[in-house]
Structure 1
Amino acid sequence: MKVLRAADHKRMPWKNGGGETVEIAISPDGAGLAEFDWRVSTATVASDGPFSVFPGIDRTLSILEGKGMRLFIEGREPVLLTRESDPLAFAADIAVSATLPDGTITDLNVMTRRGAVRHAVARHFIDGEKSLASAKGIFLLFCAKGALAARTGAQSIELDAGDAILLEESDGGRLDLSGQALCYAISIEKA
């Protein structure tokens, strides 16, 4: 189990230069925005505009802070994504733009290279104790709000808002959580 502390996340400009992203994890380590197999990040969106295009990439967005973002995804009806919405999956290599009906938002962005790996994102509210089964492949748990203790086997880690843990398949299949937090469970496996 690898701990990814909020203070250590990498800040960088968006691919299209329109804002800033905070990289939580990327594979392979040190990959650039054109070479990654998978990437998990947050971004603060402060103005309307187009999304960066990532050829051959699938993405899932979740709103962490703010009142929402209206997405215009090529070939789909416009959708208002809010903190209460389920994570929204769509291709990152088609035209997408967004408007902010009620101001700045922060989102969680999970991207995987189509044909190489695939991902799933689930939101979990922890109020007390909860166990999650980690999938085959990579499992990342991002603590969006609150604080919790995460335990797998004999190893226990405290997480605060913005922290994450990364589990490989060899770390075991179950993660025991306790505390009060809003978390996102991200499963990444080979396609």
Structure 2
Amino acid sequence: MQAPHRGPRVLRAADRAAVAWKNGGGVTREIAAWPPGAGMEGFAWRVSLADVASDGPFSAFPGVDRTLTLAEGAGMDLTVAGAPRLVDERYVPQRFPGDAPTDCRLLGGPVVNFNVMYRRGTAPADTAVVRGSLAVSCAPGETLLVVPLEGTAELAADGAATALGRYDAALARGPFIAVLDSPGRTAVVRLGDGGRQGRPGRRRNSVAGVRGL
């Protein structure tokens, strides 16, 4: 049996650079991507925070699905492939095709979105927003990403605790098991590496490997 990996890699929010959107309509701060160093056209998956300060279209990503979670602000009135999609509740993941034409109208000023993008059919991704004390895990060939969206959190594995501030991230490759203590809302994302076929976002034994304690 393969032993769990020891310790997550910590990615501090303060170390991220702001980069203009692909279409120039906003700013993104990449948290992590696979493979490491992949550009906007070559990732299997990419997780980021996006600042949206004005109305306008989202960038299109052919062959990519997107899970978007409102983290700050009043929300957005989206039109996705001609269909209305109201995003006005924080911390609720919303899934839609990243290549569908998407227009955004802000409901009450700028917003910050937690954004997970993954290649359709090749890089499965599960996103959950949780709070409290929970066991989190990922299997071999998977990556677990933990990002506090509201307040702070602590991730404990192998007797060592990692403190995370808002928008910091803990990144671990499977097999990995830890206990997450999150008084506020924290995003927990489990991602495939893009090396096998699978339905994007398919729920396996539990969403993002989360179990209540």
TM over 0.5: yes
Q: 2:70 aligns with which of 43, 63, 85?
A: 63
- Please list, as runs of the form range in 1=range in 2, the aligned pairs for 1:27-46 lying within 5 A after superposition: 27-46=34-53
Q: Distance in 2 between matches of 1:48 and 1:100?
A: 6
Q: 1:167 to 1:102 in 2, by over 3 A?
A: same
Q: Is 1:169 aligned to 2:174, yes or no?
A: yes
Amino acid at match of 2:149: A
Q: Percent same amino acid at aligned positions? A: 37
2:86 maps to 80
TM-score, normalized by length of structure 2? 0.82
Moved more, 33-42 or 117-126: 117-126
Instruction: Could you tell me which runs of 5 or more consecutive residues in structure 2 were left unpaired when the two chains were aligned.
Output: 1-7, 199-213
**The 10-residue stretch of structure 1 (38-47 or 3-12) with the greater mean CA deviation from structure 2:** 3-12
Gaps in structure 1 of 5+ consecutive residues: none
The whole-number CA distance in structure 2 between the counterparts of 1:79 and 1:94 is 13
Matched, 1:109 2:115: yes
Which structure features the higher share of strand residues? 1
Matches within 5 A, 1:1-191: 1-74=8-81, 76=83, 78-84=84-90, 86-126=92-132, 130-136=133-139, 137-170=142-175, 172=176, 174-189=177-192, 190=194, 191=198
Contact 1:66 1:83 in 2 (8 A): no
Letter in 2 for 1:73: V
Q: Following the alignment from structure 1 to structure 2, what is the Cα–Cα distance between the partners of residues 166 and 82?
A: 28
State the number of aligned residues: 185
Task: Tell me the amino acid that sits aligned with residue 46 of structure 2.
Answer: R
Q: CA deviation at 1:148?
A: 2.0
Q: Which amino acid is 1:120 matched to?
A: D
Coordinate RMSD, CA, aligned: 1.5
For residues 18-50 of structure 1, what are the alpha-carbon distances to aligned partners after superposition, in whole Å with 9 as ceiling and x for unaligned?
111011111111111000111000111111111
Q: Which moved more, 1:59-68 or 1:115-124?
A: 115-124
One-letter identity of the residue aligned with 1:163: D
